[in-house]
């Protein structure tokens, strides 16, 4: 069988001898046939099970004819906004339009609509009234039930209703999409496919839905935000395939959106099979003249070794999308892929990453997970590592050693991030040593996110003392290895729980340690995270306690400016923040101060006055008239300080 891209036009379809397609996949991204892209994994999975699939990438959403390229599919349309939520793709946290789109040829912005999955679903319904439409991808997965939408600042209905689709395949959809295809192939009406794990459907009554937890209705959610907090946490506690319950959310008197329990995790053999499909491993050649697809550059020579994450950060949507149970590929599968890299003409000898959501997770957090699932009301690492945690890097160390020995491989980097608290929980230092010796290019990026324990608690992150212990250990390890390597901490401003006081605390820490962050991430309220729930409701859904939420744009600007207090452009914001926090002691010339007084403040502020008094000439500051010589003396004192 010839290795080739899947059809993107009728001519491609006819070349394969096909008169029609079983499924048409519509994507908000350009077509990149690489396993880092959801479009490629789902379409290749269906192909491997004998289905004929074609792809329409970035159709013109203003023209319904753009989705008729292949005609009507035999079984249905599959719809995804792309590898990112379309609103995150389009807008910064300040809701300003981004300038480029890494998932579009040439990085051009504007090739997909806002709320792309909704728009594409309705576009299909204009032409094909009764053809099954199944949503998938991150946008649909995280909007599968009623959700807070940051960009419109309101609660929105399940995307299933707004898009006109029939089903959602949520999470990592390899299992559910095959089961949907088989059900349709068997002649089951799409309206009767209400039973597949990893899917969300809509029903007119709950007569055929058994054992469901009834969530507050959409009307009740709109009436009281506390209802939303409770409903969200019920959903959060039912994201495990072993213990998760079926959930039902009402819309009016005769409509329910029903979420079935998540799909079972993939075995290692199944993971290997999925990553060994005949991917072309690059973008479609039709994009070459447009400059290619920028997103391929970071992943082309990277290895996905795991999926799922038991880290449980409050601001991360992985619990809702990939789940907390870790799934891994075998060493053999990863080595085979790495060996293919060495045969690529543009491979320079550097594997850019070996990881996943968290690079140094290669085992389930505890032994019971693959049989009983994860704990509903407990986290594996927060507030401190569970006593049942398996903090063990031996398998990862062995994998990295094998990769380093491949002929043609010069360096194996780890860039997808490590959990430093998990690393610190490992009593064996082998991975720590080899990480510093072989897998860093001068600097290691880690994510402490903040230094205030009050904020870290809301973030689901370990106490700051854990990070400080890691920093000390990292420094000693590099000293022992005679390496001059640095840490680059990722920091977040304006997360729920962070007042100006905590933002000042973070700035003081940066001053003490000499860190000068070039970039700062404002908290971004994306759908279906605990932090977003806090942002919308003002309570932590885990215990329903009140949480301070910085929403005012000016306050958020001050919190961000405090992290970059050395930037002259931020001076006025930093000065205002310090005054509001009652911390004008940090405006001065001492080492602990964040900023110096401006010249126009010299007559008003006390530091200069105290200097003149100590010199025994207080009268020089009291007179209204000053000679040029006296002005010069004042300037000289300022310089000396």
Cα-based distances in Å from 35 to 41, 345, 353, 413: 6, 20, 14, 19
- Are residues 422 and 398 part of one domain? yes
- Are residues 167 and 35 part of one domain? yes
CATH number of the domain encompassing residue 335: 3.30.750.210
- Are residues 634 and 523 part of one domain? no
Q: Name the domain boundary from 180, 195, 210.
A: 195
Dihedral over alpha carbons 537, 159, 36, 489 (to 10 degrees): -10
Q: What is the mean pLDDT of residues 76-91?
A: 97
Q: What is the pLDDT of residues 4-26, one digit of tens each?
A: 999 999 999 999 999 999 999 99
**Is residue 584 pLDDT above 80, yes or no?**
yes
Q: Name the domain boundary from 169, 195, 221.
A: 195
What pLDDT, on the 0 to 100 scale, is given for residue 607? 38
CATH number of the domain encompassing residue 571: 3.30.750.200
Segments forming the whole domain that contains residue 310: 301-435
Q: What is the pLDDT of residues 484-513, one digit of tens each?
A: 999 999 999 999 999 999 999 999 999 999
**Is residue 638 pLDDT above 50, yes or no?**
no
Q: Is residue 208 part of a domain?
A: no
Q: Is residue 214 part of a domain?
A: no
What pLDDT, on the 0 to 100 scale, is given for residue 435? 97
CA distance 381 to 310: 8
Q: Is residue 494 part of a domain?
A: yes
Q: What is the mean pLDDT of residues 314-329?
A: 94
- Are residues 475 and 349 part of one domain? no
Q: Is residue 510 part of a domain?
A: yes
CA distance 234 to 220: 15
Q: What is the pLDDT of residues 387-414, one digit of tens each?
A: 999 999 999 999 999 999 999 999 999 9
Q: What is the mean pLDDT of residues 431-460?
A: 96
- Are residues 539 and 636 part of one domain? no
Cα-based distances in Å from 196 to 134, 263, 443, 528, 608: 13, 8, 45, 22, 74
Q: Is residue 240 part of a domain?
A: no
Q: What is the pLDDT of residues 97-146, one digit of tens each?
A: 999 999 999 999 999 999 999 999 999 999 999 999 999 999 999 999 99
**Is residue 312 pLDDT above 50, yes or no?**
yes
- Are residues 178 and 58 part of one domain? yes
Based on the number of CB atoms within 10 Å of its own CB, is 185 exposed (0-12), middle (13-18) or buried (19 or more)?
A: middle
Q: Is residue 174 part of a domain?
A: yes
Kindly report whether the peptide bond that precedes residue 222 is cis, defined as omega within 30 degrees of 0: no
Question: How many domains would you assign to the chain?
Answer: 4
Residue 72 banded pLDDT, cuts 50, 70, 90: very high
- Are residues 459 and 419 part of one domain? no
Comparing 378 with 335, the larger pLDDT belongs to: 335
- Are residues 591 and 604 part of one domain? no
**Is residue 447 pLDDT above 90, yes or no?**
yes
Weakest-pLDDT range from 26-30, 316-320, 409-413, 632-636: 632-636
- Are residues 478 and 380 part of one domain? no
Rounded mean pLDDT of the chain?
A: 92
What pLDDT, on the 0 to 100 scale, is given for residue 601? 52
CB-CB neighbours of 264 under 10 Å = 14
Q: Is residue 545 part of a domain?
A: yes
Q: Name the domain boundary from 195, 211, 244.
A: 195
CATH number of the domain encompassing residue 174: 3.40.50.2300
What pLDDT, on the 0 to 100 scale, is given for residue 519? 79
**Is residue 634 pLDDT above 60, yes or no?**
no
- Are residues 476 and 428 part of one domain? no
- Are residues 181 and 37 part of one domain? yes
Q: Is residue 104 part of a domain?
A: yes
- Are residues 588 and 513 part of one domain? yes
What pLDDT, on the 0 to 100 scale, is given for residue 520? 86
Q: Where are the alpha helices (DSSP H) in 67-224?
A: 86-90, 116-127, 137-142, 159-163, 174-185, 218-223
Residue 600 banded pLDDT, cuts 50, 70, 90: low
């Amino acid at each position: 069988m010839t290795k080739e891209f899947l059809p993107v036009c009728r001519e491609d379809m006819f070349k394969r001898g096909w008169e029609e397609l079983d499924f048409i996949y519509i994507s908000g991204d350009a077509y990149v046939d690489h396993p880092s892209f959801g479009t490629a994994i789902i379409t290749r999975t269906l192909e491997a099970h004998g289905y004929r699939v074609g792809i329409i990438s970035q159709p013109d959403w203003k023209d319904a004819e753009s989705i008729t390229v292949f005609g009507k599919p035999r079984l249905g349309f599959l719809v995804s906004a792309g590898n990112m939520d379309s609103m995150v793709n389009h807008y910064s946290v300040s809701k300003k339009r981004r300038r480029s789109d890494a998932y579009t040829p040439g990085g051009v912005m504007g090739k997909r609509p806002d709320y792309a999955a909704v728009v594409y679903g309705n576009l299909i319904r204009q032409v094909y009234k009764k053809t099954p439409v199944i949503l998938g991808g991150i946008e649909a997965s995280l909007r599968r039930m009623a959700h807070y939408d940051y960009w419109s600042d309101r609660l929105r209905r399940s995307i299933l209703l707004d898009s006109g689709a029939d089903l959602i395949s949520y999470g990592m959809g390899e299992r559910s999409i095959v089961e949907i295809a088989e059900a349709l192939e068997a002649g089951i009406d799409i309206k009767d496919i209400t039973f597949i794990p990893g899917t969300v459907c809509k029903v007119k009554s709950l007569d055929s839905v058994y054992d469901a937890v009834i969530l507050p209705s959409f009307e009740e959610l709109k009436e009281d935000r506390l209802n939303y907090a409770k409903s969200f946490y019920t959903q959060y506690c039912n994201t495990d395939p072993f213990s998760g319950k079926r959930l039902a959310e009402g819309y009016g008197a005769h409509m329910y959106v029903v979420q079935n329990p998540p799909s079972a995790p993939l075995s290692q053999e199944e993971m290997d099979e999925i990553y060994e499909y005949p991917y072309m491993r690059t973008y479609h050649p039709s994009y070459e003249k447009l400059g290619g697809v920028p997103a391929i550059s970071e992943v082309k020579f990277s290895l996905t070794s795991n999926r799922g994450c038991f880290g449980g950060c409050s601001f991360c949507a992985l619990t809702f999308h990939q789940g907390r149970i870790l799934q891994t590929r075998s060493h053999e599968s990863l080595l085979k892929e790495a060996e293919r890299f060495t045969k690529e003409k543009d491979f320079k000898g550097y594997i850019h990453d070996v990881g996943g959501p968290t690079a140094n997770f290669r085992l389930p957090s505890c032994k019971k997970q693959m049989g009983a699932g994860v704990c509903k009301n407990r986290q594996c690492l927060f507030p401190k590592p569970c006593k049942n945690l398996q903090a063990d890097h031996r398998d990862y160390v062995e994998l990295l050693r094998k990769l380093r020995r491949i002929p043609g491989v010069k360096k194996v980097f780890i860039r997808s991030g490590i959990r430093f608290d998990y690393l610190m929980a490992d009593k064996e230092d082998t991975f720590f040593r080899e990480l510093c010796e072989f897998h860093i290019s001068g600097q290691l990026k880690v994510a402490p996110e903040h230094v205030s324990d009050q904020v870290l608690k809301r973030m689901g992150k370990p106490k700051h003392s854990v990070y400080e212990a890691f920093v000390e250990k990292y420094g000693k390890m590099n000293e022992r290895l005679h390496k001059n390597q640095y840490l680059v901490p990722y920091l977040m401003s304006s997360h729920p729980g962070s007042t100006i006081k905590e933002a000042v605390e973070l700035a003081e820490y940066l001053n003490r340690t000499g860190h000068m962050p070039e970039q700062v991430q404002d908290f971004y309220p994306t759908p279906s995270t605990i932090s977003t729930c806090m942002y919308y409701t003002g309570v932590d859904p885990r215990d329903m306690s009140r949480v301070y939420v910085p929403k005012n744009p000016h306050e958020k600007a001050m919190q961000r400016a405090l992290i970059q207090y050395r930037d002259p452009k931020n001076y006025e914001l930093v000065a205002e923040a310090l005054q509001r926090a009652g911390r004008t002691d940090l405006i001065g010339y001492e080492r602990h101060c964040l900023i110096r007084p401006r010249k126009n403040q010299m007559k008003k502020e006390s530091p200069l006055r105290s200097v003149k008094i100590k010199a025994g000439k207080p009268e020089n500051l009291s007179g209204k008239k000053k000679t040029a010589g006296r002005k010069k003396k004042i300037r000289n004192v300022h310089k000396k300080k």
